[in-house]
């Protein structure tokens, strides 16, 4: 089973959007797709991101119709904050994440694992979000934004991943109104130093294929 961890340079960069694009892309190839949201905070009733992922995954892979949202969001916290804060600085048992991933394996060829916030979001005193990549033994997709400052934000995250011996695929979530600015202000640097990189949704086929080759 292929496992792809979707992270980003910060919150609200496009992890859920990218995850949905990848689910649809792989399903178009005939793969049985699934999704996992290991940790979601800000949950008052239903984990919204997890429900969105599950609904699409079930639409694309009916073998998952027996699942409920709690099956793919094993850790849920009420406060919309880093898990460390939302759980009052208490240790968090990560075993439910690995159990949820194992439960998907009989029904999936590819599982998209969506992170929460950025790579250095603290889960508890011992663990950051980046540690879930190793825990899940997943390939990594890093999503960055296209606004001014994306060079700095992207390089910080790439160097962090390098320090953890993780080689990611890099993609930019450029909204139409941002694309021209990105091409003029930031893209020349990425062309010189960070190829290959991809643009969501324009390069989803090449991005998806690359992630399977890692």
Which of 171, 163, 161, 162 shows the shortest CA–CA distance to 195? 171
Cα separation, 155 vs 60, whole angstroms: 35
Which of 31, 200, 40, 203 shows the shortest CA–CA distance to 111? 31
Q: ω before 127 within 30° of 0 (cis)?
A: no
pLDDT higher than threshold 90 for residue 214: no
pLDDT higher than threshold 90 for residue 65: yes
Confidence at residue 201, expressed as pLDDT on a 0 to 100 scale: 86
**For 17-51, how does the pLDDT look when each residue is reduced to its tens digit (9 = 90+)?**
999 999 999 999 999 999 999 999 999 999 999 99
Can 184 be counted among the known catalytic residues? no
Confidence at residue 177, expressed as pLDDT on a 0 to 100 scale: 85
More confident residue, 201 or 206: 206
Structure tokens at 63: 């073998």
Which of 137, 179, 162, 170 shows the shortest CA–CA distance to 4? 137
pLDDT band, residue 157 (cuts 50/70/90): very high
Confidence at residue 8, expressed as pLDDT on a 0 to 100 scale: 96
Domains of the chain are 2-213 (3.40.50.300)
State mean pLDDT over 112-124: 96
Q: Where does 78-206 show beta strands of DSSP type E?
A: 110-114, 139-144, 169-173, 198-200
Provide the percentage of residues in the chain whose pLDDT is more than 70: 100
- From first CA to last CA, the distance across the chain in angstroms is 13
Identify the active-site residue in 3, 15, 20, 37: 37
Lowest average pLDDT, out of 111-115, 131-135, 169-173, 174-178, goes to 174-178
Cα separation, 83 vs 164, whole angstroms: 21
What is the distance of C-alpha 195 from the center of its chain? Answer: 20
Q: What is the mean pLDDT of the chain?
A: 96
State mean pLDDT over 168-191: 94
Name the DSSP letter for residue 19: H
pLDDT higher than threshold 90 for residue 176: no
State mean pLDDT over 79-97: 97
CB 169 within 8 A of CB 207: yes
State mean pLDDT over 174-202: 94
pLDDT higher than threshold 90 for residue 175: no
Structure tokens at 35: 């999704």
State mean pLDDT over 102-114: 98
Which of 187, 196, 147 shows the shortest CA–CA distance to 168? 196
């Amino acid at each position: 089973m292929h496992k792809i961890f979707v992270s980003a340079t910060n919150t609200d960069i496009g992890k859920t959007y990218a995850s949905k694009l990848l689910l649809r892309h792989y399903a178009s190839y005939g793969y049985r797709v699934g999704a996992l949201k290991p940790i979601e905070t800000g949950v008052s009733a239903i984990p919204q991101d997890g429900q969105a992922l599950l609904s699409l995954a079930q639409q694309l892979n009916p073998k998952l119709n027996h699942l409920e949202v709690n099956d793919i969001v094993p850790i849920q916290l009420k406060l919309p904050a880093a898990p460390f804060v939302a759980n009052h600085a208490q240790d968090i048992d990560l075993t439910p994440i690995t159990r949820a991933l194992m439960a998907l394996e009989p029904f999936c060829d590819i599982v998209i694992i969506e992170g929460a916030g950025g790579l250095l979001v603290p889960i508890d005193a011992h663990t950051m979000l980046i540690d879930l990549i190793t825990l899940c033994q997943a390939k990594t997709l890093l999503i960055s934004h296209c606004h001014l400052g994306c060079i700095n934000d992207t390089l910080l995250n790439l160097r962090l991943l390098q320090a953890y011996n993780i080689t990611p695929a890099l993609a930019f979530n450029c909204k139409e109104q941002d694309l021209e600015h990105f091409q003029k202000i930031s893209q020349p640097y990425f062309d010189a130093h960070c190829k290959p990189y991809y643009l969501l949704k324009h390069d989803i086929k090449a991005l998806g294929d690359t992630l399977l080759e890692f």
